[in-house]
Amino acid sequence: MPKSVLCIPAHRPLLLLLLLCIPHHTTTTLPPPDKGSVNACLLQPTDAIVVVYWAILAPSGFRSTFSLWTNVSHHALNSVFALFEIVCPRTAPLPWLDLIPIVICLALYLALAYVTHATQGFYTYGFLDLQEHSSGIVAAYIIGILVAGIIIFLIVRYVIVLRVWVIETKLGKMGKFSSHAPRRTLHEGEADAELAEKGVRVDDVATK
Amino acid sequence: MAAARRLIAPYSGPFDTTHRFVTSWFLPPAALFAIRTTIALYAFTTFFTIFGWNGAHRMSDASGKTFSYFTHLTNWGIAFYFAFSAMHTLSYWLTGSPFLARWPRALQIAHSMFYSTVVVYAFVVTSK
């Protein structure tokens, strides 16, 4: 059940009263904590406006609102955050060497998934279930995810290459820097690198 | 081998001389810091709200089980990445040199690899 928010002017007190008296679900008071549901009516009478806010959250309703928020936060917003880090900072294209920790951590997670099954008796993902699927199917899923990881690495890497090319090479926007002078002095190799990155066009970003 | 040298090229020589990890092409350092901090706070708040909600509904063991899920582990990585990068951005904004620049090479490389894992795994999670 979705939440409802009502703003009712004070000159309709009867309507207000009716709305307050009609419960949508069985409980009208706060249930014991283990039920996991909240049903609240808030009334704050003022001269000008009466705001009635009722959050009627039955066990299934509340769980769906809460789980909607956690799902959006954990499955949608994380991509938004990652996209922010890909587009907005001046980061260089992902080094190829970083494929190694990416694959290793994926492999470590795979190990964790089976440790979880061995110690706690559940599979985090159905496709890992060796009792349900043959070893061949499970292996295929695992390889599939490895390949997906590598493909995503490639996509992200080349999106960053594109960002650097468009922003720095084409548009010449070399960055917004701190107004404070750096503490340390530049050493020989660093001065060239600094020029190359700040002032002079970087010829081939992809070779980095 | 030339290929091996090319592989480690980003990590050899001076690290991030122009502060690429803590600057933006259009956001001033202060704004970049503010956004990264907000995201980090949001990410941590999400976790602790979930744990609190689980606790209030006598489902605390569900909180423990979240650490077996790739989605949750990735989101912990996101939370800590934004917290640390916000910290580096803040130090850069205020002094012209981020903490990252003064840290040992191993931690600098780790930060770069951390960045790579965050941007890749977030999409692995979404695609799963």
How confident is the model over A23-60, as pLDDT tens digits? Answer: 444 444 444 444 433 333 444 455 444 333 444 444 44
Band of residue A194 on the pLDDT scale cut at 50, 70, 90 = low
Any A CB within 8 A of B82 CB: yes
User: Averaged over A151-157, what is the pLDDT?
Assistant: 97
Question: A155: Cβ–Cβ under 8 A, 6 or more apart, which residues?
Answer: B123
Write down how long chain A is.
208
Name the more confident of B3 and A201.
Answer: B3
pLDDT digits (tens, 9 = 90+) for B9-30: 899 989 999 999 999 999 999 9
Per-residue pLDDT at B8 exceeds 70: yes
B122 and A184 in contact by Cβ < 8 A?
no
Flag the least confident range among A109-118, A130-139, A199-208, B74-83.
A199-208
Interface test with A, best of B25, B36, B121 (most A CBs within 10 A): B25
Question: Mind telling me how many Å the CA of A145 is from chain B's nearest CA?
Answer: 8
| Interface ipTM | 0.94
The pLDDT assigned to B128 comes to: 76
Band of residue B6 on the pLDDT scale cut at 50, 70, 90 = confident
Per-residue pLDDT at A102 exceeds 80: yes
Cross-chain CB nearest to A116 (options B22, B42, B68): B68
Strand partners, A203: none
Residues 8-67 of A with CB under 8 A from B: 33-34, 36, 66
Burial profile A113-126: b = 16 or more Cβ within 10 angstroms, e = fewer: beebbeeeeebbee
Structure tokens at B98: 């981020």
Structure tokens at B121: 């795994």
Percentage of chain A modeled with pLDDT above 90: 45
Question: CA-nearest residue of chain B to A153?
Answer: B120
pLDDT digits (tens, 9 = 90+) for B57-108: 999 999 999 999 999 999 999 999 999 999 999 999 999 999 999 999 999 9
Band of residue B54 on the pLDDT scale cut at 50, 70, 90 = very high
Question: Mind telling me how many Å the CA of B104 is from chain A's nearest CA?
Answer: 15
Percentage of chain A modeled with pLDDT above 70: 56
The pLDDT assigned to B17 comes to: 92
